[in-house]
């Protein structure tokens, strides 16, 4: 367990990163004229980076015990399985 106390400076840097990624989310389609599929891929990558910052720093997952981290991973795996099932259903309907 990491006992390092987060500082205001750390949270300010994380907030700045989130704001920059949000700005990139809005500007990316106008800067790079890609196919809709590639734009969606880039937007999802940016969204994943923002989610990772929020989970690690604001939800304090970085300093949690190991088994709790595995609970989060398992929840995400189950969520992805549900998305896969729904996606297969939508394609075949």
Q: What is the pTM of this model?
A: 0.70
Distance in angstroms (rounded) separating the CA atoms of residues 18 and 52: 10
Q: Give the Å distances, CA to CA, from 37 to 40, 41, 63.
A: 5, 6, 36
pLDDT of residue 4: 67
**pLDDT value at residue 3:** 56
**Domain map of the chain by residue range?**
1-59, 65-93
pLDDT in tens, 35-91: 998 999 999 999 999 999 998 888 887 777 888 878 888 998 999 999 999 999 999
Q: Token pair 């990772």 is at which residue?
A: 52
């Amino acid at each position: 367990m990491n006992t390092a106390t987060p500082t205001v400076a750390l949270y300010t840097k994380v907030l700045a990163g989130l704001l920059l990624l949000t700005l990139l989310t809005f500007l990316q389609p106008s800067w790079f004229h890609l196919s809709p599929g590639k734009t969606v891929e880039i937007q999802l990558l940016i969204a994943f980076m923002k989610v990772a910052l929020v989970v690690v720093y604001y939800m304090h997952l970085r300093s949690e015990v190991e088994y709790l981290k595995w609970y989060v991973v398992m929840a995400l795996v189950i969520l992805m399985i549900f998305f896969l099932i729904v996606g297969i259903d939508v394609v075949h309907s």
